[in-house]
Amino acid sequence: MRSNENRTEREQQPASPPNRSEVMPDVSVRETEQRGVYEVRVYPQNGGNSANRNARSNPTNDALKQAQEYQKAGNYSEALNAYRQALAQAEFKGDILQQMAICHLRLGDKANARQHFLQAINEYERQIQQGYEVENARQGILACQNGLRLCEE
């Protein structure tokens, strides 16, 4: 299939990610060919973006980076611990809750995954109500709804 060839080529090109959000401009997230598996890439920020509210606080940013590293390495329990630390200090929590849900899914804990997907949707809705990164929040809601379907399988 041509689309799979293109996807493979894109996966091998680390230069410019396809979807960097304004909430986390140094992070790109995309679903891989394996259903329910997401690739998270962290890129150096250029001069620190003041629009990135979650990254302003060093403890949150450090905890997020650590969580992403653990998650990437398949150490989902440690990733969850680091995400919990980041969650306590984050202003907008939808993306963190969504990643926590994915970690729970990878651990086979569908009940907790479902709970975190639902919490993430609520946080994304709050973000929309506040008018902050509305399109990213809408995309997050759609991704969480897809995640909820995985919890039912």
Q: What is the pLDDT of residues 41-97, one digit of tens each?
A: 665 544 333 334 444 445 668 899 999 999 999 999 999 999 999 998 888 999 999
What is the domain range of residue 16?
A: 2-152
Q: State the CATH number of the domain containing residue 39.
A: 1.25.40.10
| CA–CA distance, 102 with 76 (Å, rounded to integer) | 9
Read off the pLDDT of residues 91-112 as tens digits, 9 standing for 90 and up.
899 999 999 999 999 999 999 9
pTM of the shown model:
0.63
**Mean pLDDT estimate for the chain:** 77
- 126 by Cβ neighbours in 10 Å (0-12 / 13-18 / 19+) ranks as middle
Domain count along the chain: 1
